[in-house]
Amino acid sequence: MMTFWYIFVMAGVTYLIRMIPFSFFTKRIKSVMLRSFLYYIPYAVLAAMTIPAIFYSTGHFLTALGGTIVALVLAYFRLPLIVVALAASGSAFLLSFFV
């Protein structure tokens, strides 16, 4: 029974955090400052989530580093998301046989 309440609270809080701002924030924001801030947020969030966590994502620094470099190069040449992601993982996997 306790498991049910744990999951209920977990899911409920998580949903409300997403739902309240998404549903009731329907006005166009006028402030240039705030609009600019929101414009940069996705890039900032992704960068903060990726660095340095990516270097620990495979359990071995060198395989992760190799995968990261492959991802950076392929992304620079604008390859599709799935190609970049699979190539990064694939090279980390291949590298793991050598390190």
The Cα angle at residue 47 between residues 98 and 70, in degrees rounded to 5: 30
- Is 62 a binding residue for other proteins by CB under 8 A? The answer is no
State the minimum distance, in angstroms, from the CB of residue 28 to other proteins: 7
> What is the DSSP code string of 30-59?
--HHHHHHHHHHHHHHHHHHHTTGGGGSSS
Taking the complex as a whole, the smallest distance from the CB of residue 40 to other proteins amounts, in Å, to 4
Q: Is 99 in the site for other proteins (CB under 8 A)?
A: no
What per-residue string of b and e applies to 11-27 under the rule 16 or more CB within 10 Å gives b? eeeeeeeeeeeeeeeee
- The answer to whether the beta carbons of residues 63 and 99 sit under 8 Å apart is yes
Report, in Å, the least distance between residue 66 CB and other proteins: 10
- By rule CB under 8 A, what string of x and - marks binding of each residue 3-42 to other proteins? x-xxx-xxx-xxx-xxxxxxx-xx-xx--xxxxxxxxxxx
* 76 lines the binding site for other proteins (CB under 8 A): yes
State which of residues 1, 61, 62, 92 lies at the interface with other proteins (CB under 8 A). Answer: 92
Per rule CB under 8 A, count of chain residues that contact other proteins: 73
